[in-house]
Amino acid sequence: MLLEPSLPELLKNVDSRYLLVNVIARRARELSDASLRRGEPLTGKPVSIAAREIADGKIRATAELYSD
């Protein structure tokens, strides 16, 4: 199985694998919901589109830790 984009490529724009999963899932839901509202089909799978957006640098995410 070939993963495209690769995990190292995705992790350049997201701090951790765990955050990556959450960001991809949230963006995929946004894409899917928007597609349904417009009544237009997506050009690919929502998860694949979200991963490509992260790899292209359109989406970046960092985990901030808070302490009291």
pLDDT in tens, 21-47: 999 999 999 999 999 999 999 999 999
pLDDT band at residue 1, thresholds of 50, 70 and 90? very low
User: Is 51 domain-assigned?
Assistant: yes
| Structural domain boundaries, residue 51 | 7-55
Structural domain tally of the chain? 1
pLDDT band at residue 68, thresholds of 50, 70 and 90? low
User: Is 48 domain-assigned?
Assistant: yes
User: Is 67 domain-assigned?
Assistant: no
User: Is 64 domain-assigned?
Assistant: no
Give the DSSP letter of residue 15: S
User: What is the pLDDT averaged over residues 58-65?
Assistant: 85
User: Is 28 domain-assigned?
Assistant: yes
Distance separating alpha carbons of residues 14 and 57, to the nearest angstrom: 10
